[in-house]
Amino acid sequence: MGSYIECLNSLLLNKQPLRSLAIDDDPLVSKVLTKPRKVEGFQRLFLPIAKTIKTVEGDEPHLSSVIQFLNSILEEVENTSIVTPLFKKEEADFVDIVKKRRSFCITSNIHLAANLLDPRYRGKDLSPTENVQAFQKVYNLSRETLDVDENKTPLSIALSQSLTPLPQIYHMKDEESDLSVEAMIGNRSEDSDAEAVEQEFNEALDGSLEIW
């Protein structure tokens, strides 16, 4: 992808000399050199992907950032469509590719769980459905981990999430004991009282699950 960006950059940078040197009467060649707007559009379209690839290929771990990266790419595609309109089919094909890649990345929900647990994001890049899937993944992993009480893990995450004014619904199901937990945290300010959150959870649980 980086080589494509460099090729487009070079074409746009040198379009005047190339136009002077071009002796081909092919209308396609002439159009590219005299009306480079579409080339500029492709450059803007590919640039966020090239930047993302460069970032994820570094030494830093980016598991929790994958969802944010893909969302940003889709957002920049929408902005590019406004600034430099392309053919609708090309835009649709590009968005479809990114969405398929996004679906491929989250098949195991581990990226969703990582985004939920990362204090930089706290699940803000997830849809309500993805937030539920992320919480379920954390709950399931906590059941498989030694010295971790899976019944306390959801509340611990929920208490940390209460610092962010983001409405979320969590649902966990214990297949062995058939325990279900549903709790909602509404829009809360940074001054939200942890005890109030705990009380809300206890009321939602209705005594069906001992947390403390």
Residue 91 predicted with pLDDT over 60: yes
Residue 68 predicted with pLDDT over 60: yes
Q: Look at residue 135 in the predicted model and tell me its pLDDT.
A: 84
The pLDDT-based confidence of 189 (bands split at 50, 70, 90) is: very low
Q: Look at residue 160 in the predicted model and tell me its pLDDT.
A: 54
Greater confidence, 181 or 150? 150
Residue 163 predicted with pLDDT over 50: no
Greater confidence, 17 or 74? 74
Residue 176 predicted with pLDDT over 70: no
List, for residues 11-34, the tens digit of each pLDDT value: 778 777 777 776 666 655 566 666
Instruction: Please tell me the pTM assigned to this model.
Output: 0.55
Proportion of the chain above pLDDT 70, given as a percent? 55
Greater confidence, 157 or 198? 157
Residue 115 predicted with pLDDT over 60: yes
Residue appearing with tokens 């480079």: 36
Q: Please report, in angstroms and rounded to a whole number, the separation of the first and last CA atoms in the chain.
A: 52
The pLDDT-based confidence of 164 (bands split at 50, 70, 90) is: very low
List, for residues 153-162, the tens digit of each pLDDT value: 555 555 555 5
Instruction: Give the mean pLDDT of 83-97.
Output: 73
Q: Look at residue 154 in the predicted model and tell me its pLDDT.
A: 55
DSSP the chain: -HHHHHHHHHHHHTHHHHHHH-----HHHHHHHH-THHHHHHHHHHHHHHHHHHHHTSSS--GGGHHHHHHHHHHHHHHHHHHS---HHHHHHHHHHHHHHHHHHTTTSHHHHHHHH-TTTTTTTS-HHHHHHHHHHHHHHHHHSTT--TTTHHHHHHHHHTTS---EEEEEEETTTTEEEEEEE----TT--HHHHHHHHHHHHTTSS---
Lowest mean pLDDT among 36-40, 107-111, 163-167: 163-167
